[in-house]
């Protein structure tokens, strides 16, 4: 039986992916969720904004599975706040904590339970790359301590709305760097574990902008319906969910050493991420410094 552990599977294209995964034969899905999970999934409590909840979820997964191995980790949950002023109970900037730190901690806690040939997927965004021209302020760096504590950044953006969007794109840069760091681990190479950073492109109608102003939420919902089909650069939730499920189930595998999968006009392609995302020094530093923030032991990459 194929076992998949997933976050971000209760709404948007994540729910579509979760439904597709549960419909696959001989497949078991464990879903971390705060609310109601789709039918057919096994839901375990998880609040990504609380690292204690993340630890409890990982422990529950291990307990529920017993001696079984995990075939795929799908870290799809994410958020975008209107500013960078919200802090989690652990004291970290909320967007960075949910999008990066929580999933990094989950990866570290479950890495030893991955089966040979398992896949790890982190949902990222092309907005991390200046070349994409996504309309969001792109990351200036991937310094973990300053992203977790923006008040320590001497060059922090003084416009709250811009700072909130940059916190999002920086967290998505960290998702790609995490996948790159994962690939450099000896245990990953020895067990043929595959890491994928998945960019669903612009997929309106999801819950991503729930923390944004009302007019932006309304527009996002509007384009998530039939109107979105007239905008060529938008992907449907169905296409984004199908691509994510196919990656998780192994229906689609990366060609060669590719690891950045992007969905454009409903077609999954493999391309290079941003210049910052390809730097091995940033990837190894991110891995090490993130371990310090979430208090797990790490070995050099």
* Alpha-carbon span 257 to 115, nearest angstrom: 19
pLDDT at 176: 98
What distance in Å separates the CA atoms of residue 248 and residue 24, rounded to the nearest whole number? 11
pLDDT of residue 198 exceeding 70: yes
Q: What is the mean pLDDT of residues 134-141?
A: 91
Structure confidence at residue 226 (pLDDT): 46
The predicted-structure confidence for 36-84, as pLDDT tens digits, reads as follows: 776 777 999 999 999 999 999 999 999 999 999 999 999 999 999 989 9
Q: Which CATH superfamily is domain 2-294 in?
A: NAD(P)-binding Rossmann-like Domain (3.40.50.720)
pLDDT per residue as tens digits for the range 3-32: 999 999 998 999 999 999 999 999 999 999
pLDDT band at 208 (very low <50, low <70, confident <90, very high): low
pLDDT of 229 reads 46
Whether 216 shows a pLDDT value over 60: the answer reads no
């Amino acid at each position: 039986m194929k076992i998949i552990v997933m976050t971000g599977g209760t709404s948007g294209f994540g729910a579509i992916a979760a439904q597709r995964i549960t419909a696959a034969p001989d497949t078991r899905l464990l879903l971390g969720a705060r609310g109601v999970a789709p039918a057919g999934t096994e839901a375990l409590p998880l609040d990504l904004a609380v690292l204690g909840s993340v630890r409890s979820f990982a422990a529950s997964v291990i307990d529920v599975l017993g001696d079984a191995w995990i075939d795929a980790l799908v870290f799809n949950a994410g958020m975008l706040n209107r500013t960078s002023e919200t802090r989690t109970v652990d004291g970290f900037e909320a967007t960075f904590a949910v999008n990066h730190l929580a999933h990094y901690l989950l990866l570290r806690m479950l890495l030893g339970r991955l089966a040979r040939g398992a896949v790890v997927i982190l949902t990222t965004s092309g907005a991390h790359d200046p070349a994409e021209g996504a309309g969001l302020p792109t990351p200036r760096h991937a310094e973990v301590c300053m992203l977790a504590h923006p008040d320590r950044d001497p060059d922090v953006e003084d416009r709250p709305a811009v700072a909130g969007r940059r916190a999002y794109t920086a967290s998505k840069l960290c998702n790609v760097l995490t996948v790159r760091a994962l690939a450099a681990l000896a245990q990953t190479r020895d067990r043929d574990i595959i890491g994928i950073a998945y960019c669903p492109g612009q997929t309106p109608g999801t819950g991503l902008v729930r923390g944004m102003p009302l007019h932006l939420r309304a527009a996002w919902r509007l384009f998530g319906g039939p109107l979105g089909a007239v905008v060529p650069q938008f992907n449907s939730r169905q296409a984004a969910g199908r691509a994510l499920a196919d990656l998780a189930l192994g229906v689609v595998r990366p060609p060669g050493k590719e690891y950045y999968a992007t969905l454009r006009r409903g077609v999954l392609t493999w391309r290079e991420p941003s210049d910052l995302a390809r730097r091995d020094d940033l990837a190894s530093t991110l891995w090490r410094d993130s371990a310090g923030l979430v208090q797990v032991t790490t070995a050099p990459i």
